[in-house]
Structure 1
Amino acid sequence: MKHWKKLLSLALTLALALSLAGCGKTDPQDTGAEDQTQTEEQTEEPVSESYAIAALKGPTAMGLVKLMSDTDEKAAQMLDSSKPYEGEVGNLYTFTLAASADEVSPLLMKGELDMACVPANLAAVLYQKTEGDIVTLAVNTLGVLYIVENGNAVTSMADLAGKTIVASGKGSTPEYALRYLLSENGLDPDADVTIDWKSEHSECVTALATGAATIAMLPQPFVTVAENKISGLRTALDLTEQWDALDNGSALLTGVIVARREVVEQNPAAVDAFLKDYAGSVEWVNANPADAAELIGSYGIVEAAVAEKALPHCNIVCITGAEMKDKLSGYLQVLFDADASSVGGALPGDDFYYGA
């Protein structure tokens, strides 16, 4: 897991505190009681907050890179002793990049993170584990899963019968999506196919590259990574298309961003400001793939050349409110009907969906 330096986090928090304190200063000789009261009211519930956010090295982190870059730039300006910072403070963010959700969940549950990008079904599991302490703020990634093959034997889900599929993401969205699609296409995931689970997507790419496997389930941008490394590798199935073909009223989702309930309840205005910042970052990334790819490479998420090629297929979004609830609840219902444990044993309540 990659952490920003603690010193930077402390400096940003101090800068935020001093900024807010400065906004609340009044001189009783220069202002009346009414102005002073208004100032006190404004400082009681400041919009600005400092949030610790984690994302996985993949599409969710890719959608955040403009916000990460803007935060870096702001931090440099605030810590520049040669001149006072004159810009708008707003929220301040520190980011953690992780290889898997297993690294993120404990930190979120212990309160060491305020927000985290996690697989969609894991959000529901964490909601149950914490007795409702997890709130979903937005859907940030739609379907990004693909079946790739070094060969030409697979053109439909039925063609996977008798095959071995290397994959990662056991216990989260990839596993449950694959099992559901296999079942809906008449295959028993435990008997008709062999799923060889790896701990990370990069292990699946290695298995393909060494010839240890010929078929894998991969998300973008790892599909692009694999195609660049392995001659003859092709995308055999788009699992989003396979899901849509079922016409079950739901959509295949990959990731969401969640927050601890305490964070949301303490300052909803600051959370709304974050979502605005996040949406702006996603919009910029989708509109500027070349520039976004350079940032993605600079943060070590994936190589810039790979990122630029993969971005159009990553389905990065920031869907909030009622639309978020509609899409996410439909997806979780499908998973629940197939295997209740995939969403923590029960469907989350309405308080799971922020702003809906």
Structure 2
Amino acid sequence: MKKLCSWLLVLVLAAASLAGCGSQSTDEGSKQSEENSAKQEQTAEPVDVNIAALKGPTAMGMVKFMDDVDKSEVDDENYNFQIAASADEVTPKLVQGELDIAAVPANLASVLYNNTKGQVQVLAVNTLGVLYIVENGETVQSAADLKGKTIYASGKGSTPEYALNYILTENGIDPAADVTIEWKSEHSECVAALANDPSGIAMLPQPFVTTAQTKNPNIRVALDLTEEWDKIQENKEEKSALLTGVVVARSEFVKENPEAVANFLDHYKESVDYVNENTDDAAKLVGQYEIVTEEVAKKALPECNIVCITGDEMKEQLSGYLQVLLDANAQSIGGALPEDDFYYSE
């Protein structure tokens, strides 16, 4: 009898053990299924990413990225690029959802954020100061010398206008009364105006400075507006830097496609590094995409201050710049500083 009980106890324990193993196997199978499902989500189908850049440094920083896409060397998403001559071409498409990501003037990003109630986020600073005062002659040796002059410029309502106004004002010059600014719709029009005016003065960004000098070797850089901005900061308690452009995205697109946004930034950073480290090869690509000629790009690229600054550094630099613009003209940034959700965080 004792032996029978012992055998029964052994059988019960064995059955319990088998049941436990079956349960463990089921749990492991369920866990594996969940992991496979998660992997499938992570490797979702590529999404369409519609991107626009302006004809200038912002597009120049993307040329390696664009070339890789055209060669089918990048296929994690379906990237579609377009190059625009002015921000006016980009803004409505971004607001209407025809574009997902765009390179725009730094202040315009804030205006879009405020006007759309947060429907735009900034992903990166892509261009530092690239604005210069150039002239046919030697009349301008300091910012004070601009008083009484006529200046050809483009970028009204965006970074170039507000940067110029800030520098003029801080040097005791009333932009509305002490200078005449002839606004053109595109930088190329300023180059043409300069070519037709023997005593002309213009505010131009790179690479259009180099384009103008190619057409007329007598044109010289009179003032680097980044240096003039920095001089003003020497006596300020809260300092700022002159920024020209940023990359923004629709907030809805960022929320729905976090992996696509991360992929874009990875490729964009790689492209910027390539452009900055391989001037000759990058210049060929710039010419290939008809941003400017290869010859101009080769000379201009080292002066274009192309960057890809993200995260906390982006927020620090951009918020400081927007504060300066707010103090000078609140409407230049849409009436108020953007909230923290304006700044994309990886």
- Using structure 1 for the length normalisation, give the TM-score: 0.85
Q: Match for residue 56 of structure 1?
A: 54
Question: 2:217 is paired with a residue of what secondary structure?
Answer: coil
Matches of 1:102 and 1:273, distance apart in 2: 27
Alignment of 1:174-253 (within 5 A): 174-211=160-197, 214-247=200-233, 248=236, 249-253=239-243
Local SS of the residue matching 1:246: helix
**Counterpart residue type for residue 217 of structure 1:** M
> Deviations for 1:64-118, whole angstroms, at most 9, x for unmatched residues?
000000001117xxxxxxxxxxxx7423311011000000000000000000000
SS of 1:94 mapped into structure 2? strand
Contact kept, 8 Å, 1:169 with 1:175, in 2: the verdict is: yes
Name the CA distance, whole Å, in 2 between partners of 1:352 and 1:213: 43
Contact kept, 8 Å, 1:125 with 1:343, in 2: the verdict is yes
- Within 5 Å, give how 1:21-40 maps onto structure 2: 34-40=31-37
Q: Which residue does 1:122 correspond to in 2? A: 108
Unaligned runs of 5+ in 1: 1-31, 76-87
Q: Is the contact between residue 145 and residue 219 of structure 1 (CA under 8 Å) also seen in structure 2?
A: yes
Could you say which residue in structure 2 is the equivalent of 1:254?
Answer: 244
Residues 183 and 70 (structure 1), Cα distance of their counterparts in 2 relative to 1, 3 Å cut? same
Check whether the contact 2:136–2:198 (CA below 8 A) recurs between aligned residues.
no
Aligned to 2:286: 296
| 8 A contact 2:137–2:199 mirrored in 1 | no
SS at match of 1:308: helix
Tell me which residue corresponds to 2:18: none
Which residue is 1:5 aligned to? none
My pick for the range that moved more, 97-106 or 66-75, is 66-75
Q: CA RMSD in A?
A: 1.6
Equivalent in 267, 287, 291 of residue 257 of structure 2: 267
Distance 2:340 2:81 in 1: 28
Encode CA deviations 1:219-272: one digit per residue, 9 max, x unaligned.
Answer: 000000000101311000000000011124100000000000011111223212
CA contact (8 A) 1:45 1:267 kept: no
1:142: how far off? 0.2
In 2, Cα distance between equivalents of 1:216 and 1:282: 28
Find 2:63's aligned residue among 62, 65, 70: 65
* 2:151 alignment partner in structure 1: 165
Alignment deviations for residues 295-340 of structure 1 (CA, whole Å, 9 cap, x no partner) = 0100111100000100000000000000000000000000000000
Output the CA distance in 1 between the equivalents of 2:110 and 2:43.
30
The equivalent of 2:21 in structure 1 is: none
Partner SS, residue 315 of structure 2: helix
Query: Aligned letter for 1:252?
Result: L
Which has the larger displacement, 263-272 or 329-338? Answer: 263-272
Name the count of aligned residue pairs.
314
The amino acid that maps onto 1:37 is E
What secondary structure sits across from 1:53 in the alignment? strand
Is 1:340 equivalent to 2:326 in the alignment? no
Moved more, 284-293 or 41-50: 41-50
Displacement of 1:212 in angstroms is: 6.8
Which segment is superposed worse, 317-326 or 267-276?
267-276
1:279 pairs, out of 226, 250, 269, with 269
Distance 1:45 1:345 in 2: 40
Paired residue type of 1:145: L
Residue in 2 that maps onto 1:85: none
Matched AA of 2:316: D
Structure 1 distance, partners of 2:33, 2:267, is 31
Residues of 2 paired with 1:193 and 1:152: CA distance? 18
CA distance in 1 between partners of 2:222 and 2:57 (Å): 21
Once the two structures are TM-superposed, the CA of residue 37 in structure 1 deviates from its matched residue by: 3.1
Q: Tell me the percent identity.
A: 63
| Kept after mapping to 2: 8 A contact 1:166/1:213 | no
CA distance in 1, matches of 2:66, 2:198: 38
| 2:72 alignment partner, SS class | helix
Q: Give the corresponding residue for 2:83.
A: 97
Could you list the per-position Cα deviations for residues 160-204 of structure 1 after superposition, in whole angstroms to 9, with x for gaps in the alignment?
010000000000000000000000001000011110101111111
Partner secondary structure for residue 62 of structure 2: helix
* Unmatched 5+ stretches in structure 2: 1-28
Report the CA distance between 1:213 and its aligned residue: 5.6
